[in-house]
Copies of this chain bind each other. A is one copy, B any other.
């Protein structure tokens, strides 16, 4: 699978390492691909296996595009790429937007929905936004199984993303398909509880597991 990851922060780097290690053909898309400092930093973190290119090139060559940009930067960045380049592609959206005062940028709505609405010919799947970047690629680092959620309107795109989650180490029984992209709201609004739990336990590397009723 050719994966173009937009964003070179902690999330982009973790996912690039994870999927590259699983044998996928990964490129990182950056707004400043010629920044020698950034290139050196990424080479130190990821080796030479993951090329750094401009965002349009990252999208052009990819079957799956990953939005790992800050949630408040995602919409303008995707607008630069443009709808024709994104049409027909799966867009795996990991981002959550926070305003400067720490509030959700898409309160009562979701970034996932905004992206899907703006690019109706792209298949947006929201996932992985309920966990920290290090955990995204290391589900075995937890004490036991936890749940990862998927939201998206296109069933085939969710299957593709489910396979990519498997490749990061998330077993299929840990994946929970919440339904259409409108359910991204739940994933994104959970961020507030995520931050509360992180403060309480003093760590970001935790999961949540949906605990079902006991079988009778």
- Residues of A in contact with B (beta carbons under 8 Å apart): 103-104, 107-108, 130, 140-147, 149, 151, 176-179, 183, 185-187, 189-190, 192-197, 199-201, 203, 205-215
Query: Contact at A212–B208, with CB atoms within 8 Å?
Result: no
Give A104's nearest chain B residue, CB to CB: B108
Tallying the copies of this chain within the complex gives: 2
A35 to chain B, nearest CB (A): 34
The 15 sampled A-B contact pairs (Cβ below 8 Å) are A141-B213, A145-B211, A146-B211, A147-B208, A176-B197, A178-B196, A179-B199, A183-B200, A186-B197, A189-B192, A201-B210, A203-B212, A203-B213, A206-B212, A208-B209
Query: Contact at B206–A183, with CB atoms within 8 Å?
Result: no
Q: Which residues of B contact A151 (CB under 8 A)?
A: 196
Query: Contact at B149–A213, with CB atoms within 8 Å?
Result: no
A36 to chain B, nearest CB (A): 36
Give A208's nearest chain B residue, CB to CB: B208
A178 to B200, CA, bound (A): 5
Q: Which residues of B contact A199 (CB under 8 A)?
A: 178-179, 183
Given contacts A142-B214, A178-B197, A186-B197, 11 further A-B contacts (CB under 8 A): A107-B108, A142-B213, A144-B211, A145-B211, A149-B197, A179-B196, A183-B200, A186-B193, A187-B196, A203-B213, A209-B209
Query: Contact at A211–B200, with CB atoms within 8 Å?
Result: no
Give A142's nearest chain B residue, CB to CB: B211
- Known contacts A212-B143, A214-B141; decide if A186 and B176 are in contact (CB<8 Å): no
Query: Contact at A179–B193, with CB atoms within 8 Å?
Result: no
Give A146's nearest chain B residue, CB to CB: B211
Query: Contact at A206–B211, with CB atoms within 8 Å?
Result: yes
A187 to B187, CA, bound (A): 13
A10 to B10, CA, bound (A): 45
A209: which of B177, B200, B211 is its contact (CB, 8 Å)? B211
